[in-house]
Amino acid sequence: MEKFNRSGYYRRVLTLAFPVILSQAGQILVQLVDNAMVGRLGAVPLAGVSFANAVFFMLFVLGTGMSLGLTPLVGEMYSVSNHRKSAAYLQNSILFYGCMGVCIFLLAMAVRPFMWHMGQSPEVVRQAVPYFGYVAVSVIPFMVFASFKQFLEGVGNTKVAMAIIITSNAINVVFNWLFIYGHWGFPEMGAAGAGLATLISRVLTPVLIIVYFYRRDSFYRYFRLFRRENFSWEMIRSLIRVGAPISLQMFMEGSAFALTGIMMGWVGTVEMAGNQIASVISNFAFMIILGIGSAVTICVSHAYGQRDWCEIRRYAGTAYRLGLMWNAVTALLFISLRRYIPMLFTSDPEVIEMAARFLVFVAVFQISDGLQASSVAILRGIQDVKSIMWISFISYIVISLPIGYCLAFGTEVGASGLWMGLIIGLAVAAVLYNARYRKQMKRSASVVHAE
């Protein structure tokens, strides 16, 4: 009987996770294609794109993290059939996230001049700045799309966003081919062409998802519930209350990886190019965990709306088991194929050797990465988000980055020390997040017992 029940939880989580995984796979595939296509131009353009992405990611993740706060809020309302309040959350999120996208774009434009003073070679910065400008503009349509995407996840629909993201990614690849190399009479823009292709594809995403809402009565009913009086600071404060800690947690975790990428540029161009390859491959593995985490957040938020703590524990156990199994497999693959994977991106033997070395470190942190990501997904589902913000600060800002810097530039370890710092930070985060989850479960058990 226990086995039957457990398999049912696996099925529900994987059913919800599979479209998210495909969406992430599409996004990562575009990154792979971007890097492979730009990488054919040489190590300097690849390093330029890597540098631009590292700088922009720290800004982009603020918006992405903020939008994730909508999912548990809508999930809680959906579980008790409060469609009017769900629609109000959507209405407020479109306004709030759209304005936030504009603010992130303006902040990116303010940061752009400082890219010349971040310790990178002038050749790398010249490749990075035009690319950076295009992807900075793309955050505005992305944030509008994110409001619809996270709303749909809150009501348990992950398929629509998957279809739109995959479509936009295919368009991105086509425009990459046109603008990077100048085919069919289009201008040959090099690395900047990849940025323009990203902008075009992201502009299409909100258009497609709004059209879908209008064409489906089950979702258009939420538009019919839009009211002028729905706009309220109270709802926006709720979006900030849940979204801001998630955003800051993702910002600090993402900053650890992004700043590691920037510091790689201080070591050398080859190290930075090798780090870009290893990072993209790491993201490719993480997409499975991210999909499972998104599904678990949805399921846990629905159970949290019913205050069913037993159900929350079952979904948590499902998340940990699935995540750890997947990460064990990827760790073995990264180690065994470390000298072959980089050949997909470059023919430069020095970059291949450097990426192969870094892939060993990526393999080492797979288990702790899976554990911490699963714990974060569960805590988001029960809206315990302030704790993950502080744990992330301790793990990545206080521990990971300083240790990585000291090892890389204060010892003979070199560039590998930056990855060692990430490994230590992820391990600390995994332990602390899991401890927080267990504390919350004990607290809930005492509340249920008292009732």
Residues in the chain: 451
Question: What is the pLDDT confidence band of residue 2, given thresholds at 50, 70 and 90?
Answer: very low
Predicted confidence (pLDDT) at residue 312 exceeds the cutoff of 80: yes
**Nearest residue to 72 via CA among 363, 392, 304, 396:** 304
Between 19 and 37, whose confidence is greater? 19
Q: Which residues contact 43 (CB under 8 A, 6 or more apart)?
A: 269, 270, 273, 346, 348, 351
The reported pLDDT for the residue numbered 32 is 65
Distance between CA atoms of 443 and 435, rounded to whole angstroms? 12
Averaged over 371-383, what is the pLDDT? 89
Distance between CA atoms of 414 and 137, rounded to whole angstroms? 36
Distance between CA atoms of 174 and 201, rounded to whole angstroms? 10
Q: Which residues contact 406 (CB under 8 A, 6 or more apart)?
A: 417
Distance between CA atoms of 263 and 138, rounded to whole angstroms? 26
Predicted confidence (pLDDT) at residue 367 exceeds the cutoff of 60: yes
The reported pLDDT for the residue numbered 264 is 84
Predicted confidence (pLDDT) at residue 6 exceeds the cutoff of 80: no
The reported pLDDT for the residue numbered 327 is 87
* Helix, coil or strand: residue 353: helix
Per cent of the chain over pLDDT 70 is 94
The reported pLDDT for the residue numbered 129 is 85
Please, what is the end-to-end C-alpha distance for the chain in angstroms? 28
For residues 189 and 134, the answer to whether their CB atoms sit within 8 Å is no
Residue in the structure block whose two tokens are 């109000």: 88
Per cent of the chain over pLDDT 90 is 19
Residue in the structure block whose two tokens are 């497999």: 329
What is the distance of C-alpha 155 from the center of its chain? 20
**Nearest residue to 366 via CA among 328, 333, 407:** 328
Predicted confidence (pLDDT) at residue 3 exceeds the cutoff of 50: no
For residues 20 and 302, the answer to whether their CB atoms sit within 8 Å is no
Averaged over 165-194, what is the pLDDT? 84
**Tokens representing residue 192 in the block:** 């900047």
Q: What is the dihedral of CA 425, 428, 434, 439, to 10 degrees?
A: -130
For residues 384 and 436, the answer to whether their CB atoms sit within 8 Å is yes
Question: What is the pLDDT confidence band of residue 303, given thresholds at 50, 70 and 90?
Answer: confident
What is the distance of C-alpha 368 from the center of its chain? 17
Distance between CA atoms of 397 and 64, rounded to whole angstroms? 20
**Tokens representing residue 230 in the block:** 């729905």
The reported pLDDT for the residue numbered 26 is 64
The reported pLDDT for the residue numbered 30 is 64
Task: List, for residues 185-224, the tens digit of each pLDDT value.
Answer: 888 887 788 889 889 989 999 999 999 998 888 888 888 8
Distance between CA atoms of 359 and 338, rounded to whole angstroms? 6
Residue in the structure block whose two tokens are 């990116």: 108
The reported pLDDT for the residue numbered 148 is 93
Q: DSSP state, 279?
A: H
The reported pLDDT for the residue numbered 450 is 47
Predicted confidence (pLDDT) at residue 39 exceeds the cutoff of 80: no
Question: What is the pLDDT confidence band of residue 28, given thresholds at 50, 70 and 90?
Answer: low
Name the range with the highest mean pLDDT among 38-42, 394-398, 445-449.
394-398
Predicted confidence (pLDDT) at residue 294 exceeds the cutoff of 90: no
Task: List, for residues 238-293, the tens digit of each pLDDT value.
Answer: 899 888 888 888 888 877 887 888 788 788 878 878 887 888 788 777 878 888 88
Q: Which residues contact 57 (CB under 8 A, 6 or more apart)?
A: 254, 257, 258
**Nearest residue to 48 via CA among 126, 116, 114:** 126
Averaged over 302-321, what is the pLDDT? 86
Between 433 and 228, whose confidence is greater? 433
For residues 134 and 112, the answer to whether their CB atoms sit within 8 Å is no
Predicted confidence (pLDDT) at residue 362 exceeds the cutoff of 50: yes
- Strand stretches in 91-167, DSSP E: none
Predicted confidence (pLDDT) at residue 143 exceeds the cutoff of 90: yes
Question: Residue 72 is which amino acid?
Answer: P
Predicted confidence (pLDDT) at residue 446 exceeds the cutoff of 70: no
Predicted confidence (pLDDT) at residue 5 exceeds the cutoff of 80: no
For residues 152 and 19, the answer to whether their CB atoms sit within 8 Å is no
Query: φ, ψ for residue 44 (rounded to 5)?
Result: -65, -50
Name the average pLDDT for the chain. 84
Distance between CA atoms of 341 and 332, rounded to whole angstroms? 13
Task: List, for residues 341-350, the tens digit of each pLDDT value.
Answer: 888 877 788 8
The reported pLDDT for the residue numbered 227 is 85
**Nearest residue to 359 via CA among 283, 293, 449, 250:** 283
Q: DSSP state, 445?
A: H
The reported pLDDT for the residue numbered 393 is 92
Q: Which residues contact 398 (CB under 8 A, 6 or more apart)?
A: none
pTM tops 0.75, yes or no? yes
The reported pLDDT for the residue numbered 1 is 38
Predicted confidence (pLDDT) at residue 57 exceeds the cutoff of 80: no
Averaged over 35-41, what is the pLDDT? 74
The reported pLDDT for the residue numbered 291 is 83
Distance between CA atoms of 287 and 92, rounded to whole angstroms? 29
The reported pLDDT for the residue numbered 147 is 93
